[in-house]
A and B are shown apart, each in its own frame.
Chain A
C-alpha cells in the first residue's frame, strides 16, 4: 500500500491515576491506517483496546494522562493531532467529521426522544446538507446500511438491537468521515446481524475510507480485516496481514489465543493476564509463555509501522513478511 496514511498513531501512551495505583492502559502504541484499509485490534477484555478508541476521540476521563501523537491527515482538511487538539477543536472539527464512531451499545447511544429520520437529518444538516436535500440523503444512507425507510420513522426504543445498530452506523457514516472507529460494534448481536454489520464496515473501506475495528471476537476480525493487531497487556504484540496471522501466528500469545477458539483446540492460554496496574517488567507475556528465557526480562522491540511486525524475543517463525 503506497497511499499516504490517513491516521498515524505514534508512541501513544495512556495512563490512569487511581487512588492507589497507576493503570497502564496503552503503552507506546504505533500504527498507520491508509485509505481503504480495515485494521482490527483484538485482545481480551481489559487489555486496553477500548481505551485506544476513546483516546483517539479525546473522550478519556479526567484522571487519564496521554502522551504521543495521533495525526489525522485527510485530503482537503487541515492536519490535526488528535492528542494535542483542544476539546473545542475536537468537538467542532474532528468527532463525527474527521473520525466517526460506531458505538458499542447503540440502544443507549441514541437520543430516545427523536425518530431515526430526525436524528439522521439533523446530523446531515450539521455537516453541510441543506434542509432540502437532507431527507433524500437520509434515505440513501439508510438504504446503504440496510435500514427500511419505514423503520427510519420509529423511535430508538421501538427498534430491535440490529436495527438500532444499523441506525447508529448510519449516523456515524452521515458526515462521511475519512476514518471510522468501531468499538465492539457486534456485542450482543446474533450471527446474521454481526455479519451484516461487519460487511457494512468492509464496504465503507471499499469507498476509500479507513476503519479501525476494535473487537474481542476473532472470527469477526478474520471475516473483514486486512490486517490484525493483537494487543496484550497494553501493547501491540503482533500486527500482520489477517490470513498470515490466523494461519501462521508468530507471537506465542497469538498462537495461544487462536488455540482457544472453539473451532480449534478450545484450550485456554495457560495462566491469567496480569493486572494493568501491576505489569511484569520486560515482556508482559513471559510469565505465561513456554518459550520464555532470561532474554524476556527486557521489553521486546516492535517496529513502528507496517503489518509484518511482532514483539517477541523468540517468535514462532523468524521471518514475518508483511
Chain B
C-alpha cells in the first residue's frame, strides 16, 4: 500500500462499523495509461472542513470529481454515510447525486452562457420537479444569502464579473441543501473580499446544516484559516 493516509481516520479497518461521512476507500483512477490516483483513502465527516493539499498533477481535482459522484473510480469505492456508492453520474439516482455538491475554480466554465443567473440557480430545482413558483422563492432566498441583487439575477454570465458568477454557482450548489460540499480551488480567481465572503457563506451553511466540506487550495494562508484538518495527497 502506498502512503496516502496521513490521518488515521481516513482508513477504515475491514469490518468496522459504517460511519457517517463521505469516504473514498482505496480509490484509483487512470486516464489511459496515466495513473492519476493510486489507492487513496479520504473521509469527510459531517461538520468538518477537510483541506486537501498536494503538488500540481497529484490528482486533487480528479479526487474531487470522484467524491462529487461525477467520475467512477477504476478500483476502490465510495461510501456515503456508510452505504456503498456504485457507479457515478447518471448511474446514481438524483436523490443520491444531490447530496454532494461541487464548486469549480472557473465559474465561466461551470455555467451555461445562455441562461440567466436566476435560471442557473433554479435549474437543479426545476430538474428535480420543483414547481416554478417554489423554485423562484428558493432562488430569491439563496440570492439573498450569497448577496446577488435582483438586477444581477436577470443577467447572463457574460454581463457579470467572475466574483458575481461564482456567488451564483455557490447559490446553485446549496440549492438542494447538500450534506457535502466540495470546493475545488473555488476562490482562486476571486479577490480577497469575495473570497472571504464565499468562505463565510459556506461556513454559515455548514454550521446550520452540519455539512461536511472539502477545500482544495494552493494558498497556505487560506488553508490554515479555513480547514479544520489538512490531508496531503502525494504526487501519483
Asked if A and B form a direct contact in the complex, defined as CB atoms under 8 angstroms apart, the reply is: yes
Q: Which residues of A contact B (CB under 8 A)?
A: 18, 42-46, 160-162, 187-191, 193-194, 216, 218-219, 256-258, 260-263, 266-269, 272-273, 275
Which of B164, B194, B199 is packed against the most chain A CB atoms within 10 Å? B194
CB within 8 Å of A: which of B79-124?
105
The 8 closest A-B pairs by CB, nearest first: A46-B161, A44-B191, A268-B197, A262-B225, A260-B196, A260-B192, A45-B162, A263-B221
Asked whether B193 lies within 8 Å of A256 as measured between CB atoms, the reply is: yes
CA distance A141 to B195 in the complex (A): 36
Chain A residues within an 8 Å CB radius of B159: 18
B202 close to chain A: CB less than 8 A: no
Asked whether B164 lies within 8 Å of A267 as measured between CB atoms, the reply is: no
A46, A266, A272, A273: the one within 8 Å of B196 (CB): A266
Name 10 extra pairs, CB < 8 A, besides A46-B162, A262-B196, A269-B193.
Answer: A45-B191, A46-B164, A161-B56, A162-B56, A260-B192, A261-B196, A262-B222, A262-B224, A262-B226, A272-B149
Closest A residue to B149 by CB, please name it.
A272
Closest A residue to B167 by CB, please name it.
A272
Asked whether A187 lies within 8 Å of B196 as measured between CB atoms, the reply is: no
Closest B residue to A278 by CB, please name it.
B151
Closest A residue to B106 by CB, please name it.
A188
CB contact under 8 A between A44 and B161, given known A160-B56, A190-B55, A216-B190: yes
Chain B residues within an 8 Å CB radius of A188: 105, 185, 188
Q: Mark B160-181, 1 if CB is under 8 A from A, else 0.
A: 1111100000000000000000
CA distance A262 to B220 in the complex (A): 9
Asked whether A45 lies within 8 Å of B161 as measured between CB atoms, the reply is: yes
Asked whether B189 lies within 8 Å of A187 as measured between CB atoms, the reply is: yes
B76 close to chain A: CB less than 8 A: no
Chain B interface size band reads 35 or more
Q: Mark B133-167, 1 if CB is under 8 A from A, else 0.
A: 00000000000000101011000000111111000
CB contact under 8 A between A257 and B218, given known A193-B56, A262-B196, A268-B196: no
CA distance A189 to B218 in the complex (A): 8
Closest A residue to B185 by CB, please name it.
A188
Closest A residue to B220 by CB, please name it.
A191
Q: Mark B36-76, 1 if CB is under 8 A from A, else 0.
A: 00000000000000000001110000000000000000000
CB contact under 8 A between A263 and B225, given known A46-B163, A187-B188, A216-B191: yes
Chain A residues within an 8 Å CB radius of B57: 160
Closest A residue to B198 by CB, please name it.
A268
The SS class assigned to the A binding surface is loop
The SS class assigned to the B binding surface is helix
Asked whether A262 lies within 8 Å of B219 as measured between CB atoms, the reply is: yes
Closest A residue to B203 by CB, please name it.
A266
B200 close to chain A: CB less than 8 A: yes
Question: Whole-angstrom distance from the CB of A121 to the nearest CB of chain B?
Answer: 28
Q: Mind listing 23 A-B residue pairs with CB under 8 Å?
A: A42-B191, A44-B193, A45-B163, A45-B190, A45-B194, A46-B164, A161-B56, A190-B56, A190-B218, A194-B218, A257-B191, A257-B192, A258-B192, A260-B195, A261-B192, A262-B195, A262-B196, A262-B221, A263-B221, A268-B193, A268-B196, A269-B193, A273-B163
Asked whether B189 lies within 8 Å of A44 as measured between CB atoms, the reply is: no
Chain A residues within an 8 Å CB radius of B224: 262-263
Chain A residues within an 8 Å CB radius of B55: 190
Closest B residue to A253 by CB, please name it.
B193
Chain A residues within an 8 Å CB radius of B189: 45, 187, 216
Chain A residues within an 8 Å CB radius of B225: 262-263, 266
Asked whether B193 lies within 8 Å of A257 as measured between CB atoms, the reply is: yes
Asked whether B194 lies within 8 Å of A268 as measured between CB atoms, the reply is: yes
Closest B residue to A194 by CB, please name it.
B218
Closest A residue to B223 by CB, please name it.
A262
Closest A residue to B201 by CB, please name it.
A268
Chain B residues within an 8 Å CB radius of A43: 191
Question: Whole-angstrom distance from the CB of B197 to the nearest CB of chain A?
Answer: 4
Chain B residues within an 8 Å CB radius of A161: 56
Chain B residues within an 8 Å CB radius of A42: 191
Chain B residues within an 8 Å CB radius of A160: 56-57
Question: Whole-angstrom distance from the CB of B39 to the nearest CB of chain A?
Answer: 23
Question: Whole-angstrom distance from the CB of B231 to the nearest CB of chain A?
Answer: 16
Chain A residues within an 8 Å CB radius of B161: 44-46, 273
Closest A residue to B148 by CB, please name it.
A272
Asked whether A266 lies within 8 Å of B199 as measured between CB atoms, the reply is: yes
Which of B163, B196, B199, B224 is packed against the most chain A CB atoms within 10 Å? B196
CA distance A269 to B191 in the complex (A): 11
Closest B residue to A277 by CB, please name it.
B159
Asked whether A272 lies within 8 Å of B191 as measured between CB atoms, the reply is: no
